[in-house]
Amino acid sequence: MSIIAENIKFLRKQAGYTQEQFANQVGIKRSVVGAYEEARAEPRLQTLMSIAEVLNVSTDDLIATDLTTGKGSSPRDKVRILSITVDKEDNENIELVPQKAAAGYMNGYSDPEYISELPKFNLPMLPKNATYRAFEISGDSMLPITSGSIVIGRYLESITEIKNGKTYVLVTDREGVVYKRVFNYIEEKGTLYLVSDNKSYSAYEVDPKEVMEIWEAKAYISIQFPDPEAANELSIDKIAGMVLNLQHDVNEIKKNIR
């Protein structure tokens, strides 16, 4: 399929248009939109310019850049349109991604129709100048926050906003949806280090190119109160030391391979 077809289909869905609605905006027939998205036809220049205007993108990017993956731009500075829902007062909802929906979220996170079907709620104490999403976590890697707890994250547009030692929900190609303490060593090492608060779990690296969404943890909801004895009493300095040890081990392995 041509890059133009992929881009039109992707951006139309991102904007929340049906084919019929999009056709009306551009001034063409719905069947023509279908032909463009299935690569059975390509738009003429004037139509291409109208499509680019409706989708709020440059004509050059529409025909020459794979906008569905952000190829050609730095993963650290990649910005995309975030699909959200609003309530009757036009306030943004907090969409909840349950454990059982985590796998589906990997494919539907940019689809307005999928996002609209997720459970929604609001928390009045959160600042209004941000977008939030909630994720139900699984496992015991981040004790004392237990499996089944709901972590509420604030959306970050750029990976450069990650602050060492803070906790984030990352949506990644390989690991899926994960909640970890993150250390940003992109400038020095070209990688992110993900660390669990439970010392039974090893830290590991993630390529920034694999990160599709970043949510800074701002609150959590749980029906279980934290157990002081379950906490590992890890300070940020201790965790940073674990990361440095991991870097040393990785470097030693690379030397042996050479």
Same domain, 13 and 115: no
Strand order in the sheet with 150-156: 120-121, 94-97, 132-136, 150-156, 211-221, 167-172, 176-185, 191-195, 204-206
User: What secondary structure letter does DSSP report for 93?
Assistant: P
- The reply to whether 199 falls in a domain is yes
* Measured distance CA(29)–CA(31) in Å, rounded: 5
Tally the domains of the chain.
2
Same domain, 220 and 106: yes
- Contact assessment for residue 110 and residue 83, using Cβ atoms and an 8 Å cutoff: yes
Range of the domain at 158: 94-257
- The reply to whether 140 falls in a domain is yes
Tokens of 112: 């307005």
Residue pLDDT, tens place only, 199-246:
899 999 999 888 989 999 999 999 888 766 555 555 566 666 667 677
Residue pLDDT, tens place only, 138-153:
999 998 899 999 999 9
Same domain, 102 and 48: no
